[in-house]
Amino acid sequence: MASTVFPAAAGGGIKTVQRGSAGASGNVTITSVDIAKSFVTVFGSASSGTVAATGAISAANGNISMFNTGQISQMGHSGSTPSVAMNITNLSGGTNNLIAAVVTGFLANSTTLTVSGACRYEVVEFA
């Protein structure tokens, strides 16, 4: 868990901006801020679920046409050859259940940011 502090330019309404990241839920130590003049923005970087798509292919069914009746001779036969007519198969659509995790954060006190999961954060303190 690391953070970076950016001091504001002279005459600006923002006193400090602290940015960093947290790899998991817990407390992040920040440079002291006045919590009455500060706010936190948290950008969740965790997710849950899978990206494995699901689906189904329908069975291919059909009929085989046999020889037509024809004359049989010593040298072979006359008539048509066997053929098969198959129906069309379809791939039905699937789903996945990947979701972005909702991560929250708040200032527990002037030097502690508490986050609920992996995230990037920004703490802005006004002058």
pLDDT tens readout for residues 77-120: 555 666 777 777 777 777 777 777 789 999 999 999 999 999 99
Q: What is the pLDDT of residue 120?
A: 95
CB 120 within 8 A of CB 45: yes
Q: How far apart are CA 116 and CA 45, in angstroms?
A: 11
Contact by Cβ (8 Å): 40, 22: no
Residues whose CB falls within 8 Å of the CB of residue 38, separated by 6 or more in sequence, listed in order: 107, 123, 124, 125, 126
Residue of 96, 116, 1 lying closest to 48 (CA atoms): 96
Can you give the pTM of this predicted structure?
0.56
Q: What is the DSSP letter of 36?
A: G
Q: What is the pLDDT of residues 41-71, one digit of tens each?
A: 999 887 777 776 677 777 777 777 665 555 5
**SS3 assignment, position 82:** coil
Give percent of the chain with pLDDT exceeding 90: 41
